[in-house]
A and B are shown apart, each in its own frame.
Chain A
Amino acid sequence: MKKKLNGKVSGLEKRRAVTGYLFISPFILGFLLFMVKPFLQSLYMSFCDVQVGAGSFVMVRNGIYNYNYAFRVDPEYSRLLIEGFTKMFVYSLAIMVFSFFVSLILNQEFHGRALVRAIFFLPVILSSGVILGLETDNSVIAQMHATVEESMTNVSVTAVLQEILKTAGIGTRAYETVFELIDNIYDIALASGIQIIVFLSGLQTIPKSMYEAASIEGCTAWESLWKVTFPMVSSIFLVNWVYTIVDFCMRSDNEVMTKITDTMVDQLNYGLSSAMAWCYFLLTIIFLAISSFLISRRVYYYE
């Protein structure tokens, strides 16, 4: 903020500031009313035993009982938390790689590019909200597939490949993770619609002259991918990483979230569900902070 030098400028500046505040006032109001208040209240609630009666609710403080319960008594929570984070990490990485790869392809010139882009973006629309949750629910298609495959006793190529690689004996667990990701490539493709678009928008901002300069200097395409494309879109990586993780937290088929909602709606244990939600949130924030710090150290800003 500038120091007020003379009356006229500061008057104009003041007016501009007031107008600015007027423009963002809906946000401030909403933020204070529907964000800060419930946010703090849910923090407070996590230290309380909430009893809901007719017409009101009573909160009795009980220290860290809820947290204690969540981690040490509840049979599922800790396990779900660890699984959730492992899954989040692995899947987010896979989504980043996949969406970067696809956006590189979609940035090329070829016939039917608009159509392919449209198809890749389709999941953003079609697998949001309730539909995603239903999709993973005991899908009959999966069952039918399994039965059909069993009855036909056909050997799939990938299964054989998996067996061969597994018996090679090196890094079985790493292989298994990769296999799992490949098996779930559908989920990954579904989750990476927005990321592909964001990468594409980043790729389009790279001036063509850079590639020309690189190729004149004797850069092969492979080198210019790493030396030109990669640094130029590195800031997009950060944006996408944050978006992916946040998106993962909010997915309707997220197991930790389901657990929290169940605790609230079915068991009516508001205190415990708040405590669980807070732990999850804090851990996510820490994870996000560390990972984006690590990424942001490598980000290259062109301007």
Chain B
Amino acid sequence: MSNTAVISAPADKGKLKSKDRPKMSALKKKKIATNVFISIVRFILLFGLCFMIIQPILNKISVSFMTEGDLYDPVVINIPAHFTTENYQLAVKLMSYKQAFKNSMITSLTIGLLQVAVCTLVGYGFARYEFPLKSFWFGCVLLMIIIPPQIMSTSLYLHFKFFDVMGLSRLLTGNTINLRGSVLPYYMMSAGCMGLKNGLYIYLIRQFFRNIPKELEEAAYVDGAGTLKTFIIIMLPDAKPILTSCFLFAFVWQWTDGFYSRMFLGNLKLVSTSLSSIADDLSTYIASQTGVQSTVSTAYSNCILSTGTLLIILPLIILYLFAQKGFVESLSSTGIKM
């Protein structure tokens, strides 16, 4: 809306001059002309920026259909001369895509659901209840957003490598449990709101619940609903948009996440981890095929990498096409305030 004001700037100037009536039509023309001019400038600007954002994806698509020969052909720029789907077959094989896709799907879905469920509870607690030390705990949430998880990676790594609940397992078996490589630690962390960017979700959900009128809740209490019932029947349905967007974020960020996946889910084949090792896999694969230890050319390994990247973002793009409103609109209508 601010920009309707920006657009109408020349028009305002026009109004000042428009004291003498006969010139009105000329002024109108001028106004229309300025508006058209602004539209054109805006179109060029936005088109350029949008193209810049989309171009790498288009480029990847065109590269992924090229044969190796096309990559070195200086004549071939965008449209492959020898159209092939070999790259896809190879990338699927190298990433063991089916397995990885299934694993990633299960992990992202369950982790996303778990994180959003827990964050909703916590966000609701922060938004609606008064209790001692509330601002202290909320400060902790903010702190959690600020502290990069990498700072504790060392210690978490060792924490889970030699996992022990108060010395219990050492007492029983004489050894600590190595939880690294199993999925359990990450689920535990997610249940404790310590997953990827969970502080952000708590913050957003709290912000949303705070905007829901209190009377709604009070009416439910008066009608005899308990705390839990009010929360589930009255508050949750209202919060659907923000919960969907938080879930979508949790899903997407988990899908592409490399940090937590590498640290905790190392043994599980995920699309994100298999993508980051695809270049090495390619060289071992080629070595095993030809029997000669040779380095793969950068161009070819990048071609396979682009194909792999496309494979990993394809589900996300499909998801985004269907749930675009859930991502953008609900977030922009939340009215985030500090």
Q: Give the contact stretch, choosing among B83-91, B283-291, B298-306.
A: B298-306
Given A26-B192, A56-B176, A125-B327, residue A119 in contact with residue B54 (CB < 8 A) = yes
Q: Are the CB atoms of B137 and A28 closer together than 8 Å? A: yes
Mask of B1-43 contacts with A, CB within 8 angstroms, 1/0: 1111111110011000000000000000000000000010010
A195 and B50 alpha carbons, distance in the complex (Å): 16
Q: Are the CB atoms of B298 and A221 closer together than 8 Å? A: no
Q: Are the CB atoms of A31 and B192 closer together than 8 Å? A: yes
Q: Are the CB atoms of B256 and A200 closer together than 8 Å? A: no
Which residues of B lie under 8 Å from residue A246 when comparing CB positions? 145-146, 148
A37 at the interface (CB under 8 A from B): yes
Q: Are the CB atoms of B145 and A139 closer together than 8 Å? A: no
Q: Which of A41, A109, A121, A228 contacts B328 (CB 8 A)?
A: A121
Given A148-B74, A189-B53, A211-B1, residue A131 in contact with residue B175 (CB < 8 A) = no
| B319, closest chain A residue (CB) | A125
A18 and B131 alpha carbons, distance in the complex (Å): 7
| B159, closest chain A residue (CB) | A38
CB distance from A151 to the nearest CB of B (A): 7
Q: Are the CB atoms of A138 and B153 closer together than 8 Å? A: no
B252 at the interface (CB under 8 A from A): yes
Q: Are the CB atoms of B130 and A13 closer together than 8 Å? A: yes
Q: Which of A31, A116, A264 contacts B157 (CB 8 A)?
A: A264
Q: Are the CB atoms of A211 and B258 closer together than 8 Å? A: no
CB distance from B75 to the nearest CB of A (A): 11
B168 at the interface (CB under 8 A from A): no
Chain A 203-262 interface residues, beta-carbon cutoff 8 Å to B: 203-206, 208, 211, 214-215, 220-222, 224-225, 228-229, 235-236, 238-239, 242, 246, 249-250, 252, 257, 260-261
A35 and B176 alpha carbons, distance in the complex (Å): 21
CB distance from B169 to the nearest CB of A (A): 11
B193 at the interface (CB under 8 A from A): yes
CB distance from A94 to the nearest CB of B (A): 14
Chain A 8-49 interface residues, beta-carbon cutoff 8 Å to B: 13, 16-24, 26-31, 33-35, 37-39, 41-42, 45
Q: Are the CB atoms of A42 and B151 closer together than 8 Å? A: yes
CB distance from A110 to the nearest CB of B (A): 7
| A50, closest chain B residue (CB) | B158
Q: Which of B259, B299, B336 contacts A236 (CB 8 A)?
A: B336
| B256, closest chain A residue (CB) | A129
Q: Are the CB atoms of A140 and B302 closer together than 8 Å? A: yes
Q: Are the CB atoms of A134 and B276 closer together than 8 Å? A: yes
A87 and B332 alpha carbons, distance in the complex (Å): 29
Which of A17, A45, A206 has the most chain B CB within a 10 Å cutoff? A17
A130 and B191 alpha carbons, distance in the complex (Å): 24
Q: Looking at chain A's contact residues, is the secondary structure mostly helix, strand, loop, or mixed? A: helix
Q: Are the CB atoms of B258 and A133 closer together than 8 Å? A: yes
Q: Are the CB atoms of A41 and B155 closer together than 8 Å? A: yes
Which residues of B lie under 8 Å from residue A28 when comparing CB positions? 137
Q: Are the CB atoms of A105 and B258 closer together than 8 Å? A: no
A167 at the interface (CB under 8 A from B): no
Which of B148, B202, B313, B316 has the most chain A CB within a 10 Å cutoff? B148
A110 and B130 alpha carbons, distance in the complex (Å): 45
B214 at the interface (CB under 8 A from A): no
Q: Are the CB atoms of B150 and A277 closer together than 8 Å? A: yes
Q: Which of B46, B121, B130, B256 contacts A128 (CB 8 A)?
A: B256
A138 and B300 alpha carbons, distance in the complex (Å): 12
Given A197-B331, A200-B332, A224-B2, residue A130 in contact with residue B162 (CB < 8 A) = no
Q: Which of B50, B59, B151, B189 contacts A30 (CB 8 A)?
A: B189
Q: Are the CB atoms of A31 and B140 closer together than 8 Å? A: yes
Which residues of A lie under 8 Å from residue B105 when comparing CB positions? none
Mask of B281-325 contacts with A, CB within 8 angstroms, 1/0: 000000000000000001100110110010011001100100010
Which residues of B lie under 8 Å from residue A131 when comparing CB positions? 256, 275, 309, 312-313
A104 at the interface (CB under 8 A from B): yes
Q: Are the CB atoms of A29 and B192 closer together than 8 Å? A: yes
Q: Which of B9, B45, B256 contacts A105 (CB 8 A)?
A: B45
Q: Are the CB atoms of A23 and B302 closer together than 8 Å? A: no
CB distance from B124 to the nearest CB of A (A): 6
Q: List 13 A-B contacts (CB under 8 A).
A: A26-B122, A39-B151, A45-B155, A104-B3, A141-B59, A144-B299, A186-B53, A197-B331, A201-B334, A204-B332, A211-B1, A225-B6, A257-B148
Known: A23-B124, A38-B155. 18 other contacts (CB 8 A): A17-B132, A22-B125, A26-B122, A26-B192, A27-B122, A34-B188, A38-B152, A55-B175, A56-B176, A119-B50, A119-B53, A131-B313, A133-B276, A140-B63, A189-B53, A201-B336, A277-B150, A284-B148
The chain A residues found within 8 Å of chain B, CB to CB, are 1, 13, 16-24, 26-31, 33-35, 37-39, 41-42, 45, 50, 52, 55-57, 102, 104-105, 107-110, 114, 116-126, 128-131, 133-135, 137-141, 143-144, 147-148, 151, 185-186, 189-190, 197-198, 200-206, 208, 211, 214-215, 220-222, 224-225, 228-229, 235-236, 238-239, 242, 246, 249-250, 252, 257, 260-261, 264, 270, 273-274, 277-278, 280-281, 284-285, 288
The chain B residues found within 8 Å of chain A, CB to CB, are 1-9, 12-13, 39, 42, 45-46, 49-50, 52-54, 56-57, 59, 63, 71, 74, 77, 118, 121-122, 124-126, 128-132, 134, 137, 140-141, 144-159, 162, 175-176, 188-189, 191-194, 202, 227, 252-253, 255-259, 272-273, 275-276, 298-299, 302-303, 305-306, 309, 312-313, 316-317, 320, 324, 327-328, 331-338
Minimum-distance CB pairs A-B, first 4: A30-B192, A23-B125, A20-B129, A129-B256
